[in-house]
Chain A
Amino acid sequence: LIEVGTYGLYLSGFLFSIGLLIILIKKNIIFVLIGTELMLNAANLNLVIFSHKWGGNSGQIFALFAVVVAAAEIAIALALLLNIFKLRGISDLDKLNELGH
């Protein structure tokens, strides 16, 4: 069990680093969104692992909720991004630097 937790933390650290790296080096909105999803799932994985390590189910249940909320968020975020792309024809975050018109 101990190994499972330790490897799990490695995995989540790996996932978080990947996500962060994507955010830092990619400029496309979709990639940034994927990077944030990866970092979110790394955090979820941490919740599950620490819940397993310290006993009790609340952490796993919280992770389930977070997955559901994240799904909702991602749906809204994708809708917004698609609309922005439709309106402005931009998928580069650096160029999306003004509010309104």
Chain B
Amino acid sequence: LTIFVIYILALVLPAIGGLLNYLLKSKKAILPLSIGGILPTLVLVITAAVDLQKDFYHRFLWLSELEMGWHLDALSLVLVALVLFVSLLVQIFSAYYMADDREIYRFYFKLGFFTSAMIGLLGADHFFLLFIFWELVGFFSYLLIGFWFKDREKADAARNAFITNRIADLCLIVGIFCFWIGTDTLFISEIFISEGFWSTAGAIGILIGAMGKSAQFPFHTWLPKAMAGPTPVSALIHAATMVAVGVYLLVRMQPYMPNEVLTIVAVVGAFTALLAAFFALTQFDIKKILAYSTISQLGYMVMAVGVGSREMAFFHLWTHAFFKAGLFLTAGIVIHQLSHHFQSIRDPQDMRNMGGLRKMLPVTFWTFTVCMLALIGLPLFTGFFSKDGILIAAFAWAANQSSSLAWIIPTMGLFTAFLTAYYMIRQWKMVFFGMEERSKHQEPILARIPVMIFALGSLWIWYSWNPTGHSFQFLRYVFPDILIHNEFGFLVPVISVGFIILGVFVGWRKEHGHFYPNHLVINLSFNGFFLDRVYQQILITPYNKISSASAFIDKRILDPALNGLATSTVVFSHLLHFFEKHIIDGLVNFAAYLSRTLGSILKRQQSFSWQQQIIWLLLIIILVFYYLFRQL
């Protein structure tokens, strides 16, 4: 099997599995169909990635003029494998989580198509092809957020996410066109470094597109709302794969971005990381904390791209996919078990209704703990490697900058690590410890396997035998020309672990109240800086006003004008009809009448008897003779 065939299989099989699920509608066939499509392709993709000698290119004609192309290198193959892997485990988990939902077949249909679109995006070499899949993943994300669309609030959340992304995507396509003007090619693999206005504008456009998809400030508001979707969707799309697409695009484009734009990227990332961590401090919704934490970690990745370490951005994307998917799935188990065994709980997502789940769900507790420790970045877990890699790169970058303001960025990263430790420990404590001890309600095996695999994937062992030293073997495979910073290789991990332990300590010791005093900082954090209300005021209200104004113009000015035009056309037609009927037709009829009358008058002259005719004949003969012989 060639690499391209494997890729096409990976592109098509998840969608076919989803489609078959939707068509067959059989409870027993769900798992065989979804696993049967994805698992073999996952194995094939991994073997192809291991065997990869050189990049694979495939060009094809589209619309007879436009040439499109696929490009598979180590980066895209590894990410295809990641998407397939997470999708596989999430689909297994969904068989547990969505088992009672009558629409589960529609759910698998959407999941399958999402996976295919995601894989298409990772292999696309042409900007237009990339954009098509970019929109497709956004569309399926919309469908999945609004999976329970009968709930008005959830449908609104889906629409919100979709529209926010559309605004950013508009900037993305403008950026693509700018890059096209600047470098005269639409193939990502053919882009070169170029100076000048167009490539800067293109880089900014692409940055904004990536910010929309990866939920960076100020576009981040859609991601916490996207938690309205089923929890497996949050794990697959809004933690592990789709939101990482923005980072993926930045990783691809980073070598071709001007330095000024990269500085903006770093600032956006660091600011988002800190801001989202701040928002996560006070949330009560178990999924909302994870959503804000996702935004914060995506901010780390964007910051890593900005400080020139795209390898570490990719690596954090990779490790984050495991532990954040694990966290979301364990949160899903908690929600599902609570809503099934404690019907009295009104809101099973509210952490104030939890507590003491350690004894009730031991497996969930341990997997959550492992994934959480990976997220806050302690040694022995993958997050330590990737997060400290980013921090080291950020410090090395700041040391090279002329302005001392640059040190703000790595400092923000460090502080975010502290906040992350705090809010995750807070969540851990509120969910699993304290209050009454509940009876044991074991989660089924179908739920246990995926979270355990994700927890295993969050252990250090896969990347280096030494839990404190990263061996870079995996990264060297993906990025052969990786640059390793050693200047801060010892100092930064020590400081960041110190910050993290401090955060853990504070989070553990503090009593987490169920209600907050009316304090400004707490209000700002809990309501996300009131950004939703700000957007409502500065964007949506003026938009609505413009809409109603244009509706007014439409109704009062354009419609009457149009009606007048229509009426005058009818009147004119009647006039024309009258003219036609009475003038043109009249002329024709008159001509006919004239010839008929003349004919009947002249006809009368013909009806002589034969004797009269002979008299005429004689007369004419006499006249002819007279004419001929008049000279004689």
Please indicate the chain B residues that have their CB under 8 angstroms from the CB of A27 in the complex: 611
Distance of B390 from chain A, by nearest CB (Å): 121
Most chain A CB within 10 A, of B609, B610, B615, is at B610
Q: How far is B110's CA from A43's CA once the two chains are assembled, in angstroms?
A: 120
Our pick among A20, A25, A94 for the contact of B610 (Cβ within 8 Å) is A94
Q: Are B609 and A94 in contact (CB under 8 A)?
A: yes
Q: Are A93 and B614 in contact (CB under 8 A)?
A: no
Please indicate the chain B residues that have their CB under 8 angstroms from the CB of A24 in the complex: 611, 614-615
Please indicate the chain B residues that have their CB under 8 angstroms from the CB of A25 in the complex: 611
For the A-B complex, the count of residue pairs with Cβ-Cβ distances under 8 Å equals 11
Residues 24-52 (chain A) with a chain B CB within 8 angstroms: 24-25, 27
Q: How far is B611's CA from A87's CA once the two chains are assembled, in angstroms?
A: 24
Distance of A81 from chain B, by nearest CB (Å): 16
Please indicate the chain B residues that have their CB under 8 angstroms from the CB of A93 in the complex: 610
Q: Are A23 and B609 in contact (CB under 8 A)?
A: no
Please indicate the chain B residues that have their CB under 8 angstroms from the CB of A20 in the complex: 618
Chain A: CB-nearest residue to B611: A24
Distance of A7 from chain B, by nearest CB (Å): 22
Q: How far is B618's CA from A27's CA once the two chains are assembled, in angstroms?
A: 18
Please indicate the chain A residues that have their CB under 8 angstroms from the CB of B610 in the complex: 93-94
Q: How far is B612's CA from A24's CA once the two chains are assembled, in angstroms?
A: 8
Please indicate the chain A residues that have their CB under 8 angstroms from the CB of B611 in the complex: 23-25, 27
Residues 222-267 (chain B) with a chain A CB within 8 angstroms: none
Chain A: CB-nearest residue to B618: A20
Please indicate the chain A residues that have their CB under 8 angstroms from the CB of B615 in the complex: 24
Most chain A CB within 10 A, of B609, B611, B618, is at B611
Q: How far is B610's CA from A25's CA once the two chains are assembled, in angstroms?
A: 11
Distance of B409 from chain A, by nearest CB (Å): 122
Distance of B491 from chain A, by nearest CB (Å): 135
Q: How far is B324's CA from A92's CA once the two chains are assembled, in angstroms?
A: 128
Q: How far is B614's CA from A25's CA once the two chains are assembled, in angstroms?
A: 11
Distance of B611 from chain A, by nearest CB (Å): 5
Residues 63-101 (chain A) with a chain B CB within 8 angstroms: 93-94
Please indicate the chain B residues that have their CB under 8 angstroms from the CB of A23 in the complex: 611, 614
Digitize B607-621: 1 where CB-to-A-CB distance is under 8 Å, 0 elsewhere. Answer: 001110011001000
Q: How far is B615's CA from A94's CA once the two chains are assembled, in angstroms?
A: 15
Q: How far is B611's CA from A55's CA once the two chains are assembled, in angstroms?
A: 39
Q: How far is B618's CA from A20's CA once the two chains are assembled, in angstroms?
A: 10
Distance of A35 from chain B, by nearest CB (Å): 11
Please indicate the chain A residues that have their CB under 8 angstroms from the CB of B618 in the complex: 20
Q: How far is B609's CA from A27's CA once the two chains are assembled, in angstroms?
A: 11
Chain A: CB-nearest residue to B612: A24
Distance of B493 from chain A, by nearest CB (Å): 131
Distance of A60 from chain B, by nearest CB (Å): 26
The 8 closest A-B pairs by CB, nearest first: A24-B611, A94-B609, A24-B615, A24-B614, A23-B614, A93-B610, A94-B610, A23-B611
Q: Offer 11 A-B interface pairs, CB within 8 angstroms, sorted by A.
A: A20-B618, A23-B611, A23-B614, A24-B611, A24-B614, A24-B615, A25-B611, A27-B611, A93-B610, A94-B609, A94-B610
Interface positions of A (Cβ within 8 A of B): 20, 23-25, 27, 93-94
Interface positions of B (Cβ within 8 A of A): 609-611, 614-615, 618
